[in-house]
A and B are shown apart, each in its own frame.
Chain A
Amino acid sequence: RKEVEQDPGPFNVPEGATVAFNCTYSNSASQSFFWYRQDCRKEPKLLMSVYSSGNEDGRFTAQLNRASQYISLLIRDSKLSDSATYLCVVNTLYNFNKFYFGSGTKLNVKP
């Protein structure tokens, strides 16, 4: 079983739409959670960390559900520039500072 699983998509949405991605993780000892964004042929870049109480950064909201072992990302008022692949990342500090990556969910925002 993969450490981190995501729906690969693609999610095709019109501009202005709200879209949500979920990601599940298998290790209950996981301690830190992140969403990264990766544009085509570019390196992954941190979008936001995910905190236990949930957190918001502008149009982006991240939630963590430890009981069900999943994290989510909500994007409101989608922009064309949001088109990218979104990677769910989990960190387990007990195994040094090792990061586990999902395969990514592709988002296409259409005009």
Chain B
Amino acid sequence: NAGVTQTPKFRVLKTGQSMTLLCAQDMNHEYMYWYRQDPGMGLRLIHYSVGEGTTAKGEVPDGYNVSRLKKQNFLLGLESAAPSQTSVYFCASSYSKTSNQETQYFGPGTRLLVL
């Protein structure tokens, strides 16, 4: 049981480049989330998903897109990276229908530097 995993762990991009961050969970959770964390700002929700095939915008969605084609995976895409997107990105998942568990579990994070 790996919990929540994220790839890559670290990436450097040039302005305008694109990339996809992958999040995977093996806990059969219904909900998945992408956050970014910046110094002094706390965790801010980018996008979230309440189930396979559904996504919704969070607090800071601009410049990002997401997809959840499979229940266990949640992808975060940056189409044209900007320096303002330099941050640490955390994926999280929560809620299993069988356990009715509401606790949120986090992946180890992806550090992204946009030059």
Contacts and interface: CB of A to CB of B under 8 A. Distances in A.
Given A43-B90, A102-B42, A97 B102 contact: yes
B108 interface: yes
Given A97-B31, A97-B94, A44 B43 contact: yes
Nearest to A104: B42
A98 B41 contact: no
Given A42-B109, A43-B109, A99 B104 contact: yes
Interface string B80-101: 0000000010100011000000
Interface string A98-111: 11011110000000
Contacts of B42: 87, 101-104
Interface in B18-49: 31, 33, 40-43, 45, 48
Q: How large is the interface on A (under 10, 10 to 19, 20 to 34, 35 or more residues)?
A: 20 to 34
Given A8-B40, A44-B43, A103-B42, A96 B108 contact: no
A41 to B, nearest CB: 8
A91 interface: yes
B103 A43 contact: no
Interface of B: 31, 33, 40-43, 45, 48, 50, 88, 90, 94-95, 102-109
> 9 closest pairs, A vs B, by CB?
A103-B42, A43-B106, A101-B43, A101-B42, A97-B31, A97-B95, A44-B106, A43-B108, A96-B50
